[in-house]
Structure 1
């Protein structure tokens, strides 16, 4: 675009907040309400790594930020008041309740500090409203496919209803043989009615599973919950628990994900060996993803749904996988002050392929989600490393701040997520002191983390923290781009850079469309005026896709994935081999005579023009000095 030119005309436009799920342009793109971020100086340069000139004004590093002094435990009292207020409203509601509200009541029935504890009115309200859900199903059998009242109706089905039935099975048992109205003037036994609709939900979703990790987890969790509801009241029509548990194992990466069930078994749309999580414990999508990959709240729910009774232990394999995910995500928290200048750790978002804001939220062991909390998954694990991460948050006094922030969110979904916090907090506070802290925290030892399945690398060297996504936003084809977040005490470098990429060619290409905004969803909503993408018409090579019915232009996890990446940025040279059986060579720059290999810590001597062999499914990181 600049070759042969001496003048480049361009403009910088500021825009208001974007809501990615907006159905219209007005919903999607909000008007600006405040001035944009200030731009005080712009540089151009031809180096691969930008060094500010010596006269560039810099701020002072936050060497020893203060620990916040408030809020405190008083937030917990407000939480309990809000939850009990919600319970009272639902118990006295004359309008039909949605199934997630029924699930909430059934969970609260076993929590001692709530107004729902051992409250017989909970049983009455749950039973009455599940009867109502049956009439809706009888009037439209597609109700079990796209159930209203959940935020993604096609993911849930009647799983929440099945979970509520299971939780209150003993209390509901005396009423199961009563006749109820089916909504069309006919009578049907309650047991048969509930079993029928749960079975319809379970089976439709088994035949229509979701591929992306978080969606797959939610769908399979609710398939299992629906079947568990059947098992609690009508065991003869329930599928074997171990068979259903296999869905859970697939969804969280313990066993390969085999696609939809059909009359012959599985359709294996992604082959025999596609895992929803990488061996290192990150979600398997189109490269590393930040918030969308924070599935710990849902994996905790998967663990909970396997408990034999409320408050009893769940599946040990699932618990071990939960802990692996916690430890993998812990790498992607780095030290930075919070919005008020206090000591904190934040989630890495810059190198995530779906992420779009900076800095990331204050996060320690777990994000502060609608459906969970910052201690939701840790309270189910309680392993010493995870407890140490949470104790670091307690020491920074960021837990009650996270709770205060969560309480600012309205809506039932947030209230549901508050339900477990008091008991989870008590469990963690009762644990002995742990010596573990988050890997990127100040004072922790140097390390390298690399996930060749997701194409992401993270390392700490002294005060340097470095994140790079080498397989970044390559949804349709090889794009030769890496995303960098290089953190030093003085400033952050955020960059998109070109890298060397070797791949298995398919001899097909992808032509980039004229999209100026989204990299998916047909480019998002179109902006007014004659705006066009500078990349339109560029042809990118497509890597070989080993399985599935693929066409150029399809989004696919293989089409843009390289087998070997070589990235040089500043003082670091990275070689990542994503191939299972091929050794690749990393070319050493001719001006480099020695370097420290950070994975092993060894100093390596080089002759001019030599290469460094990178073994299959491994990564080397060289500090060039």
Structure 2
């Protein structure tokens, strides 16, 4: 085991401090002329405003001619010449903007623009982040730029929005067309937590109120939309795509739709699959990737297998008939496509959890389910294809793609699991909005239901309940856009999240493919039902569905189909009246997932989320991400963390990726900036035997430590990620009198022992 700290931090870490957490080195208040003069503030294309609580701030303005970049402000800031420094910025929580702000320190860019381990100063937001109150973001400044200096030159620059999936400049980076959010102040400090001076105005939490509208009329409009789409498809003169036929096949069994037991659905389906087969003859790769389907190579033609299964009784008489203009029966044609689909997807499985689930559900399981109906002699056994689903939902180790002989290649080793033991996805650490796979896990469970097994696979049902319950710790109490009480999904500490704040969410975040009650209505787990009923009592269900309906795309329409029935099941269930885990009136708790390096703390009127394993894709980076929430204070912080790990002896050299922090750095920016951390060498943790790996690869183990230790404010957090070693920890002096948050036990020991795969949180008395 090696204990190390990245180049970012000194041998004597400023984390282990005894000074007041409120102490800062320097404060710059924008809009204050004396403070601006003292810090040599100079701006290009900026404006001073009276903002939140009538406090002065500056905004950076858009360019006068179309461009992606706008105003900037420069200033000096005093720092500590010996220790690691942090910069914290103050923003107003009501501001909504898609513009982005980033730091340039001593002429070098701090952090990456998209999904870096050090983020931009501000990535924008979709809704008020912290209504009627200020919030703060904290960023570490690299020692390579601050060592030996008592003052540094800093710039805050502005950009327009980005679309993270864009492959070209025009698609990726959008023009800046409106002012940025107000920037009220910046502070320098050496403690990882920042507490502003008590004299500063902060605002107060909005008075709790229940949303008054909308109501059930939303479902009336939803049904009208569904039926309009049904009629449009049935009247179409063109052959239907897989997803269109899938929508009709589901609606065929839904009583209130115009597709219910409608013979036109069967006719349209036969015509659609016939045409797909003709295209398949021209392009056999269609079995693996159908361009008419989103994320085509995750699904292949497996959707056809689901359609055949859903409509099996009504399609069966036509299987022996020949396809028009071809001397081949539908049985022969359809089975050939489905078999090709299943084999190609067995040989091209995907590592990331959501992709693995979709590939295995449609490309393998549903393709085989269609074969079981139309050509059972060519189908694999149910137990064999079910095993792929078990792997994807974390019931058994994920064994990688099959080779041509059907044997697993084990590209991630013998013991890689798609989910943690606690039930969270691994992509590569905790993920918030993006990590919501409850829609896909529910679909997997529903797929296992049959005439012989009407309740579905019991193991998968138990597993998806565990997954859903684990996610409930990542719903925190707040208010919606209009100030009504609600719960939101935690995204600040999410590896792949770029939308703050997270969506309004109780059990399940509504997606393109599923509604907020999909999971709860499928399993009727009492806790999930209770939390769904809480969404109803807060009157947030209809608002969420109405918001989803603003997207007029077909995929969303298809995902809305089952919402009315799910609503009826939850509404009509007996009231269960159970509060969600992080409700303000709930008792203290600590939820930790050591495999993902994430921890959730509810301590009276404080909530703290921390990802101790933070976007360390390639190597150990000694960084953690913290989201600290109280009714009157909210801080987003990237901070240093003490890590211990098994050293591989290899190092990863940080590339000069100023944009994306992965792949090849993404679209290149024309501003010529250099990443402040470029060239730094980060140690690589030991990779498990059997996993294919080369230095520089993104790998779930390369940056994962066996132990994490973080001091943040009054919290001392330790996490033992080792599977078999007890870790002894010396308790820092200021925590000699503290309380174990989870148990309430007073701690007076000089050291504590931590069992394998466990965590502890102490709170300073």
Unaligned regions of 5+ residues in structure 2, if any?
A: 1-144
Partner of 1:299: 441
| Equivalent-residue separation in structure 2 for 1:298 and 1:207 (angstroms) | 21
| 3-state SS of 1:10 partner | strand
| Equivalent-residue separation in structure 1 for 2:488 and 2:452 (angstroms) | 33
Give the direction of change, closer, same or farther, for the CA distance of 1:236–1:479 in structure 2 (3 Å limit). same
| Equivalent-residue separation in structure 1 for 2:549 and 2:330 (angstroms) | 38
8 Å contact kept, 2:472–2:581:
yes
**Aligned equivalent of 2:388, options 231, 235, 247:** 247
Q: Are 1:213 and 2:353 counterparts? A: yes
| Equivalent-residue separation in structure 2 for 1:51 and 1:186 (angstroms) | 75
| Equivalent-residue separation in structure 2 for 1:376 and 1:310 (angstroms) | 23
| Equivalent-residue separation in structure 1 for 2:609 and 2:461 (angstroms) | 28
Partner of 1:518: 660
| 3-state SS of 2:558 partner | helix
Partner of 1:100: 243
Partner of 1:435: 577
C-alpha displacement of 1:544? 0.2
Unaligned regions of 5+ residues in structure 1, if any?
A: none
| Equivalent-residue separation in structure 1 for 2:722 and 2:730 (angstroms) | 17
Map of 1:48-63 to 2, 5 A cutoff?
Answer: 48-62=192-206
Q: Are 1:621 and 2:761 counterparts? A: yes
**Aligned equivalent of 1:552, options 695, 716, 740:** 695
Cα deviation digits, residues 291-336 of structure 1 (max 9, x gap) = 2210000011101111115994322211111111110000001011
C-alpha displacement of 1:531? 1.1
User: Which consecutive segments of 4 or more residues in structure 1 shift more than 6 A?
Assistant: none
| Equivalent-residue separation in structure 1 for 2:534 and 2:451 (angstroms) | 32
Map of 1:187-206 to 2, 5 A cutoff?
Answer: 187-206=327-346
| 3-state SS of 1:341 partner | coil
Partner of 1:481: 623
**Aligned equivalent of 2:226, options 83, 86, 90:** 83
8 Å contact kept, 1:297–1:372:
yes
| Equivalent-residue separation in structure 1 for 2:733 and 2:570 (angstroms) | 54
| 3-state SS of 2:536 partner | helix
| Equivalent-residue separation in structure 2 for 1:301 and 1:510 (angstroms) | 40
**Aligned equivalent of 1:235, options 376, 384, 398:** 376
Partner of 2:42: none
C-alpha displacement of 1:599? 2.6
C-alpha displacement of 1:186? 4.4
| Equivalent-residue separation in structure 1 for 2:378 and 2:550 (angstroms) | 44
C-alpha displacement of 1:496? 0.7
| 3-state SS of 1:541 partner | strand
| Equivalent-residue separation in structure 2 for 1:211 and 1:192 (angstroms) | 33
| Equivalent-residue separation in structure 2 for 1:101 and 1:309 (angstroms) | 25
Give the direction of change, closer, same or farther, for the CA distance of 1:264–1:148 in structure 2 (3 Å limit). closer
| Equivalent-residue separation in structure 2 for 1:402 and 1:509 (angstroms) | 46
C-alpha displacement of 1:437? 2.1
Partner of 2:150: 6
| Equivalent-residue separation in structure 1 for 2:183 and 2:639 (angstroms) | 22
How many residues are treated as equivalent by the alignment? 618
**Aligned equivalent of 1:327, options 469, 472, 479:** 469
| Equivalent-residue separation in structure 2 for 1:543 and 1:375 (angstroms) | 41
8 Å contact kept, 2:534–2:577:
no
Higher relative contact order (CA 8 A, sep 6+): 2
Cα deviation digits, residues 410-455 of structure 1 (max 9, x gap) = 1110000010001111111111111322111121111110000100
Range with greater deviation from structure 2 (143-152 or 560-569): 143-152
**Aligned equivalent of 1:165, options 297, 308, 333:** 308
C-alpha displacement of 1:539? 0.4
| Equivalent-residue separation in structure 1 for 2:516 and 2:160 (angstroms) | 29
8 Å contact kept, 1:566–1:586:
no
Give the direction of change, closer, same or farther, for the CA distance of 1:410–1:597 in structure 2 (3 Å limit). same
Structure with the larger helix share = 1
Range with greater deviation from structure 2 (246-255 or 355-364): 355-364
| 3-state SS of 2:434 partner | helix
Partner of 1:118: 261
C-alpha displacement of 1:367? 0.2
| Equivalent-residue separation in structure 2 for 1:284 and 1:168 (angstroms) | 35
Give the direction of change, closer, same or farther, for the CA distance of 1:309–1:109 in structure 2 (3 Å limit). farther
| Equivalent-residue separation in structure 2 for 1:72 and 1:591 (angstroms) | 53
C-alpha displacement of 1:521? 2.7
**TM-score relative to the length of structure 1:** 0.97
| Equivalent-residue separation in structure 1 for 2:735 and 2:274 (angstroms) | 74
Cα deviation digits, residues 500-545 of structure 1 (max 9, x gap) = 1000000000000001121113122111121111110010000000
| Equivalent-residue separation in structure 2 for 1:339 and 1:597 (angstroms) | 35
**Aligned equivalent of 2:727, options 584, 590, 599:** 584
Cα deviation digits, residues 549-588 of structure 1 (max 9, x gap) = 2111100000000000000000000110001111222221
Partner of 1:27: 171
8 Å contact kept, 2:654–2:679:
yes
**TM-score relative to the length of structure 2:** 0.79
Q: Are 1:138 and 2:281 counterparts? A: yes
Partner of 1:256: 397
Partner of 2:94: none
